[in-house]
Structure 1
Amino acid sequence: MPLVLTAQTLLFDMDGTLVDSTEAVARTWSRFARRHGLDAGTILASAHGQRTAETVAAHAPPGTDVEAETAWLVGQDLADTGGTVAVPGAAELLAALPPHRWALVTSAGRELAVRRMAAAGLPLPDVLISADDVREGKPSPEGFLAAAERLGGDPARAVVFEDAELGLLAARAAGCFPVVVGPHDGPAAQGRPRITDYTGVACASSFEDGLRLVLPDSVPARTAVLASH
């Protein structure tokens, strides 16, 4: 059966959640790996959901200028959005949402977020919390808390759409209700509602100026079912 949630606000991660930027991300980190004689697969396995500077610091050889390498990587990302597309159903869902009821919370920088959303043909929300706007990246709850506050909502009544372990942990730490997008099956995803994409996801204004969100039958039967949030 479909899962019905009520919420004040919806908070979305970007890469892998609203935008499929897999090809561009792989190309950028492969360039970085070649520059330093590193294994691109190892880097990509840990980079998802993390700010670029944190990934550089974790993998770059000792003595690397992390700030300079981060700036180089950001430049590569900004110049290469080839193959970036919207996750199926994302455009339709966002078009149905009141502008003051949703936000983007991403580990990408602000300029990159703007470019990737544009490349995917998706609108920008009034509230965008990027890597440039927080002191600590995910799994810190800072970004989700900031987004809920700027929307004037209670984090406990926010539904978060995330596809990565760090983001799901951040959503839980913020007191939000996480929904998994895509195949990630790490510890933070266990027992959570899951959608493959936004095909069949419906949202409408509800009582008390909130939102009524319906997730389709693709939600596994084993997940927890909430009638409201």
Structure 2
Amino acid sequence: MRRKLIVGNWKMNGSLAANAELLQRLRAGAGQAPGVDLAVCASAPYLAQLQALLSGSGIDWGAQDVSTHESGAYTGEVSAAMLRDFGCRYVIVGHSERRQYHGESDDAVALKAQRALAAGITPIVCVGETGKDREAGRTEFVVKRQLSAVIHAVGHCTSEIVVAYEPVWAIGTGHTATPEQAQAVHAVLRTQLRAATPGAERIRILYGGSMNPANAADLLAQPDIDGGLIGGASLDAAQFLSIAAACPVAQ
């Protein structure tokens, strides 16, 4: 069994005061989930705060996006090297909100993953289908296409990524894929990864999309679900830690 990973995606939420209280609670309660890796991903202005308050805690931190560019005249962009300066272990790339609202293509997401790896940061590569895709029977086609672009771009480094399956129709809606639905897509992704790299068995595939304390145990019990990318519930320390505590622990 792969060691579970629970990552909080704070999205565009937080303040210095609220973050400090949340991080203090996470530090205090991290022992509730022994054998589980924890991380939080915040907006760029708060990365220094995460670095200051989480260093030495055993909880990792990361960013929610990274530029396709290494440096230069790209006002408002944040490079992978900058994220490395703030000790980021992870960066989320290709989240459906970036694909939908910012028009990010599969190729752009793949380049972002490549930039992150080159800087020593683990990209959390998000894939997922819309409700219309699922109704049309295109779920497998869509997620394989999205992941294929990343595999092609990063090549032999594929085993160093984390994948997150987030059905777009379940993100922030309260509607969650059943454990069986989620496992079916995770199994497709695992098969694709096995064909791409001999290190596929150690790649963690997270589930995102309204995971909460009530459904976490059933989702996390599935053989190819290796953790969660948690949105709204990650803003509440008790809920986030409860999800982590629901993880079966690798022996």
Q: With structure 2 as the length reference, what TM-score do the two structures score?
A: 0.30
Which protein is richer in helix relative to its size? 2
Q: With structure 1 as the length reference, what TM-score do the two structures score?
A: 0.32
Structure number with higher relative contact order (C-alpha < 8 Å, ≥ 6 residues apart): 1
